[in-house]
Amino acid sequence: MKIENNSIIFPTPDDKLISRVEESFEIKFPTDFIDFILKNNGAIPITRFFRHGSNRYVVDRFLCLLDQPGVNDKGMYDIKVVFSQLDERIISDGDATGAELVPFAALFAGNFVCLDYSENKKEPTICIWYNEESDEFEPVTEKIADNVSDFLGMLEE
| pLDDT one-digit tens code per residue, 4-32 | 999 999 999 999 999 999 999 999 999 99
Nearest to 82 by CA among 68, 61, 103: 103
pLDDT of residue 71 exceeding 90, the answer is no
Segments making up each domain of the chain, as ranges:
15-154
Residue 72, pLDDT score: 84
Higher pLDDT, 35 or 73: 35
CA distance 86 to 67: 20
Residue 149, pLDDT score: 98
Is residue 65 within 8 Å of 37, Cβ to Cβ?
Answer: yes
Cis peptide before 139 (omega within 30 of 0): no
Residue 12, pLDDT score: 95
CA distance 63 to 120: 22
Element (H, E) at 23: helix 15-25
pLDDT of residue 145 exceeding 90, the answer is yes
What are the pLDDT digits (tens) for 86-137?
Answer: 989 999 988 878 899 999 999 998 999 999 999 998 899 999 999 999 999 9
Residue 74, pLDDT score: 92
| DSSP helix/strand/coil, 146 | coil
The CATH number fitting domain 15-154, selected from 1.10.357, 1.20.1070, 2.60.120, 3.40.1580: 3.40.1580
